[in-house]
Structure 1
Amino acid sequence: MTSTVRTTVNDAEVAKFTAMAEQWWDPKGKFKPLHKFNPVRLSYIRDMLCARFGRDASSIRPFEGLSIVDVGCGGGLLCEPLTRLGATVTGIDAAERNIAVASIHAEQSGLDIKYRVTTSEALVAAGEKFDVVLNMEVVEHVDDVPLYMKSCADLVAPGGVMFTATLNRTARSWALAVIGAEYILRWLPRGTHDWNKFLTPEEISAQLKRNGLAIIDQTGVVFHPLADEWRLSPDMGINYMVLAERPKA
């Protein structure tokens, strides 16, 4: 007798990103916006983890001894710099081609990263736990948001944290993140985002709290066109990040 395992994987979303997989590491390709976005989220992760775990932010490898899983890691744009900062990193993605591209690039870069074609719920079923869970720009692409958020939360070890980054469901996000970014500026391929699947900070916070995590920080992220860069901001109307912790047992 076989049982059906519930999954958060949206096959159409996996196919969408698989089709673009070869361009993950091209800063001028289809993932150019993510390359632009990467520095601000990486600096936020670094600052928050150093404060949380008492690490020296000025050291070369401040994350030595920390285990990190990047859920929906894509081509490894976060996995590689975090590995260089000393963390033991596992990158998982439901798209086999993404993992292949990420693995090749890590090998060429001389980095030891554990890449796996799997899902957060499969890691939970295997009993795995991590000091840090990265849930970055993924939740708006999955099926069954409650199951996905529960599985990510269940991966957080006692005393560990989870970062969640996504897009707010507002009129401004529709105008700028969908119409502006996909149709006018063409930063992203059309159809990259479904505005109806965006989640508000209140909805994300509710999911985190429901699964035993406590919010310890949140921030908006806005684009400054004159400087051509993303910066942290109190404005959470479009892009935002939430940091939550699991209390120590």
Structure 2
Amino acid sequence: MNTQAQEQKNLSATPANVDSEEINKFSQLAHKWWDKNSEFKPLHDINPLRLEFIDSYAHLAGKNILDVGCGGGILSEAMAKAGANSVTGIDLANKSLKIAQLHALQEQIDNISYRMVSVEDLAIETPAGFGAVTCMEMLEHVPDPGSVVRACAQLVQPGGVVCFSTINRNTKSYLQAIIAAEYILQLMPHGTHDHRKFITPAELARLCRQAGLEWLGSSGFTYNPLTRRYHLTDSLDVNYMIACRRPLD
């Protein structure tokens, strides 16, 4: 069975919380995941900042980590190299996973593995199976982000940390994340994001509370087009990250 047919088979067997157009979009770009001057350059640029934020709350060293929506493994590899006992990356784009697996082999990283499985299915399979869970730049690409949040809450161990990142929904985010990033600065391909799918911090906080998670902290990203550098900021106006904790039973 060819790769495309295999992906369609898996998608058809997966709950409805999948946007096949999103999967196809990232599959077409899969070969560029590790090209730091490609459409994935912004992810490479923000990755040290993501890792810093995640590690400050989750304390990755020695833990078994789950990376939901891992794509080509940019964050997964960084967490594996940061001292995690193991990192499991999951995604529904088979081409991206193959790139991730190949790159991990090339880098000789032996504490990382990848699976093609939905986060909801994995939550049924291995509840409370991970010391920390990350889900970065994914929620705005699925039909039901609440389902992902609930599954992440089920997958983390009591006392464990879950980190999310997404994009706020307002006029500023539309201008910066779509008009500027996709059309003016061309940091990413046209159509990468749909402003209607962006999630406000208040909405995400509500989803986390409903899933039984406690809000720990947050941080935003800002981009300087002159220096072409990203920095962490207290503002959650556009791109932002949050950390939550599953209470002890």
Correspondent of 2:64 among 62, 67, 81: 67
Aligned mates of 2:144, 2:239 — CA distance in 1: 21
Q: CA deviation at 1:226?
A: 3.8
Q: CA deviation at 1:5?
A: 6.0
Name the counterpart of 1:56.
none
| 1:115-126 superposed matches below 5 A | 115-126=114-125
Amino acid at match of 1:23: K
Residues 7 and 121, structure 1, Cα contact 8 Å, conserved in 2: no
Aligned mates of 1:161, 1:47 — CA distance in 2: 11
Deviates more, 1:103-112 or 1:79-88: 79-88
Q: TM-score, normalised by structure 2?
A: 0.90
- CA deviation string 1:93-127 (max 9, x = no partner): 00000100000000110012110011101101213
Name the counterpart of 1:97.
95
Aligned mates of 2:75, 2:162 — CA distance in 1: 14
Name the counterpart of 2:234.
234
Residues 133 and 155, structure 1, Cα contact 8 Å, conserved in 2: yes
Between the two proteins, the alignment pairs up a number of residues equal to 234
- Over 3 Å counting, the alpha-carbon distance change for 1:224 and 1:185 in structure 2 is closer
Residues 167 and 198, structure 2, Cα contact 8 Å, conserved in 1: yes
Q: TM-score, normalised by structure 1?
A: 0.90
Q: Percent identity?
A: 40
Structure 2 portions without partners, runs of 5+? 1-12
Q: CA deviation at 1:209?
A: 0.5
Name the counterpart of 1:55.
none
Name the counterpart of 2:5.
none
Q: CA deviation at 1:227?
A: 3.5
Q: Secondary structure at the match of 2:102?
A: helix
- The CA RMSD measured in Å over matched residues stands at 1.3
Aligned mates of 2:191, 2:248 — CA distance in 1: 41
Aligned mates of 1:5, 1:29 — CA distance in 2: 30
Q: Which has the higher helix share?
A: 2
- CA deviation string 1:29-54 (max 9, x = no partner): 1111111111111111122233xxxx
Are 2:27 and 1:18 aligned? yes
Aligned mates of 2:21, 2:140 — CA distance in 1: 13
- Over 3 Å counting, the alpha-carbon distance change for 1:30 and 1:5 in structure 2 is closer
Q: CA deviation at 1:225?
A: 3.1
Name the counterpart of 1:57.
none
- CA deviation string 1:200-243 (max 9, x = no partner): 00000000010110001111111133442211111110011110
Aligned mates of 1:222, 1:248 — CA distance in 2: 34
Name the counterpart of 2:179.
179
- Over 3 Å counting, the alpha-carbon distance change for 1:127 and 1:101 in structure 2 is same
Amino acid at match of 2:146: P
Structure 1 portions without partners, runs of 5+? 51-61
Residues 146 and 207, structure 2, Cα contact 8 Å, conserved in 1: yes
